[in-house]
Amino acid sequence: MSWLGLLSQLMAIVMALVLAPLLTGWVNQWRARLQNKSAPNLLQPYRVLHKLFNKESVLAEHASPLFRMAPYIVFGCMLLASAIIPTLSTDLPLSPAADAIALVGLFALARVFISLAAMDVGTAFGSLGARREMLVGFLAEPALLMVLFCASMISRSTSLTTIVETLAHRELAIYPSLLVAGVAFTMVSLAENARVPVDNPDTHLELTMIHESMILEYSGRHLALLEWAASLKLFAYSCIGLALFFPWGVAEAHAPLALLLALPVLVIKLALGGVLMALIETLSAKMRIFRVPEFLGTAFLLAVIGLLVNILLGVG
């Protein structure tokens, strides 16, 4: 384990913690601009976190220890997921754990705990949101796995660092399967991050909300951790998309200069991706919850088509 690897791993964790709320503010700002609304301040997510961390946490009367532990577990899962994705360098001490299946498992673990915590206090909103969250996860996780396997067939490995090294640091090649998988990944990312057309993070309507209904009973530092975890999840999914489909700019092992250049490249790619997400949300209409299985089923089929294209072309 080299000092450069430890430095790149530490930088990845710090950048995730710092840039995740900024990415959320960037997306919200561009979404408001594209809808001809007054845009919120770019640093508004940081102000919300500061305010919540300085408030007292109020717990429901019958809340169990699970309700108290869930925010910390969800936050830890999202931070670890962000740490194992090669955003700045492929020389990561956690790279042996940076497996596609392990990554999806982290997202699933966080979903299970936040859903159990939502049902723990026995409110109607929490139970409703938990059921919808598990429905979305049941359909989105297989599609995400198929997208990751599509890239894994090219690199012959499920390791995220190996996938990035294969796609970014070898001769330039066109992979038609990644184009189809990219569309599927975009659909999954919108669903998993509670964005339009699957969910709307700006509303608290009973008939539409999924994520917001699960955290209504939280306050103070617990709510701050869940909001920060939601930003980390958006950051993690954005970095997965960049690692799979736009991996250029990620430093190789033993490349100190490339590590310094990787940071501004990452910021530029995240900024462009945030604008694209805001544009997709603006051009989309919120769909009914009963149409979500069709939406995510289409994403799964597109990812499977990407796998079949790899097989037919003899890739891998």
d(CA 102, CA 33) in angstroms, rounded, equals 37
pLDDT tens-place string over residues 235-247: 999 999 999 999 8
pLDDT tens-place string over residues 100-157: 999 999 999 999 999 999 999 888 888 888 999 999 999 999 999 999 999 999 888 8
Q: Residue 253 has what pLDDT?
A: 62
d(CA 201, CA 85) in angstroms, rounded, equals 25
User: Tokens 């998993």 belong to which residue?
Assistant: 192
273 burial (CB, 10 Å; 0-12 / 13-18 / 19+) is buried
| DSSP string for residues in 218-246 | --HHHHHHHHHHHHHHHHHHHHHHHHHH-
Answer whether residue 187 shows pLDDT above 60: yes
What is the SS3 assignment for 168-216?
A: HCCCCCCCHHHHHHHHHHHHHHHHHCCCCCCCCCCCCCCCCCCHHHHCC
Residue type, 176: P
Contacts of 105 (CB under 8 A, 6+ apart): none
Answer whether residue 201 shows pLDDT above 80: no
Residue 14 pLDDT level (bands cut at 50, 70, 90): very high
SS3 state of residue 156: coil
Q: Residue 205 has what pLDDT?
A: 65
Residue 97 pLDDT level (bands cut at 50, 70, 90): confident
Residue 212 pLDDT level (bands cut at 50, 70, 90): confident
Written as six digits, the tokens of 176 are 């038609």
Mean pLDDT of 7-16: 90
Percent of the chain residues past pLDDT 70, beyond the cut: 94
Written as six digits, the tokens of 8 are 């790149």
pLDDT tens-place string over residues 34-60: 989 998 899 999 999 999 999 999 988
Contacts of 98 (CB under 8 A, 6+ apart): 84, 85, 86, 92, 159, 160, 161
Sign of CA dihedral 46, 116, 105, 167: negative
Answer whether residue 99 shows pLDDT above 90: no
Q: Residue 83 has what pLDDT?
A: 92
Percent of the chain residues past pLDDT 90, beyond the cut: 58
pTM given for the model = 0.94
